[in-house]
């Protein structure tokens, strides 16, 4: 299957700082990338959908000014958690797809801890 | 919003037993995907289904896309310790976003 690389796998940051998470499709071009948040023992919650070269589409209740998404190329999308607070601590996962009707492949996830 | 009902929520089985889990929806889906997630990792795609009635195997795993397009099941035969994890179904209507089930947590006693 296709490979999606997410970095970093773990990050600890202080309250008020910003953290950037990268998601790369290594062996295919991803026209669409998705960002999820997962709470312990829960399913994946979609935060936003990003299409290369256009603004991301955020799900209801997700603050677009807090979770900045950039999808500048067909192989890279970034999620920046701005002015992080302890309640932003979570497991963030990206996925990439070759098209809107195709399979979605997931990155390894990023464990964010805000102290 | 759309929801998938995945069952069972958890399973405790003996090594070597077969496993069956399923997902149902009140909506029709055009795509069904099954994923496995290990602790601290992202989900890994197991099987993708695109046609109603489609039955697809991947080693000891078999999944089917229900005829009504509102359900799908995943079977695991002769379970082994590395099958432990959380299994998620996901459905999609056309080009819409994926909708995930709540997950089935599989525990295997040796």
pLDDT tens-digit series, residues B57-84: 999 999 999 999 999 999 999 999 999 9
Average pLDDT over residues B74-95: 94
Interface test with chain A among B4, B42, B92, by most A beta carbons within 10 Å = B42
Q: Is the pLDDT of residue B86 over 60?
A: yes
pLDDT band at A31 (very low <50, low <70, confident <90, very high): confident
Q: Is the pLDDT of residue B85 over 60?
A: yes
Residue B100: its chain A contacts at CB < 8 A?
A: 43-44
Residue B26 is classified by DSSP as: S
Q: List the one residue out of A87, A67, A80, A78 whose CA is nearest residue A18.
A: A80
| A38-55 core/surface letters (b: 16 or more CB in 10 A; e: else) | beeeebbbbbbbbebeee
Q: Average pLDDT of chain B?
A: 94
pLDDT at A68: 96
Residue A46: its chain B contacts at CB < 8 A?
A: 97-98
Render pLDDT for B16-29 as a digit per residue (tens, 0 to 9): 999 999 999 999 99
pLDDT at B3: 75
Average pLDDT over residues B25-40: 94
B58 or A2, which is more confident? B58
User: What gap in Å lies between CA B55 and CA B67, rounded to an integer?
Assistant: 11
pLDDT at B55: 97
* pLDDT over 90 percentage in chain B: 89
| B3-42 core/surface letters (b: 16 or more CB in 10 A; e: else) | ebebeeeebebeeeeebebbbbbeeebbbbbbbbbeeebb
Q: Is the pLDDT of residue B41 over 70?
A: yes
Average pLDDT over residues A49-69: 92
Average pLDDT over residues A46-63: 91
Q: List the one residue out of B19, B7, B51 whose CA is nearest residue B32.
A: B51
Whether chain B has a CB inside 8 Å of the CB on A35: the answer is no
pLDDT band at A25 (very low <50, low <70, confident <90, very high): very high
Residue A2 is classified by DSSP as: -
């Amino acid at each position: 299957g296709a490979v999606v690389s997410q970095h970093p796998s773990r990050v600890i940051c202080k309250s008020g700082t910003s953290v950037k998470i990268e998601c790369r499709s290594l062996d295919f071009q991803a026209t669409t990338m998705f960002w999820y948040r997962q709470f312990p023992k829960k399913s994946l919650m979609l935060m936003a959908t990003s299409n290369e070269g256009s603004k991301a589409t955020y799900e209801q209740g997700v603050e677009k000014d807090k979770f900045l998404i950039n999808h500048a190329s067909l192989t890279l999308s970034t999620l920046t958690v701005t002015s992080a607070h302890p309640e932003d601590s979570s497991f963030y996962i990206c996925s990439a797809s070759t098209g809107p009707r195709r399979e979605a492949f997931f990155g390894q996830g990023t464990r964010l801890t805000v102290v | 919003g759309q929801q998938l009902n995945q069952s069972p929520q958890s399973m405790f089985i003996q090594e070597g037993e077969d496993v069956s889990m399923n997902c149902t929806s009140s909506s029709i889906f055009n795509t069904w995907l099954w994923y496995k997630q290990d602790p601290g990792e992202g989900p890994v795609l197991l099987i993708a289904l695109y046609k109603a009635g489609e039955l697809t195997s991947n080693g000891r795993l078999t999944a089917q896309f229900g005829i009504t397009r509102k359900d799908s099941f995943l079977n695991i035969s002769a379970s082994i310790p590395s099958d432990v994890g959380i299994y998620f179904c996901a459905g999609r209507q056309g080009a819409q976003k994926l909708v995930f089930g709540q997950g089935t947590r599989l525990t295997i006693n040796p």
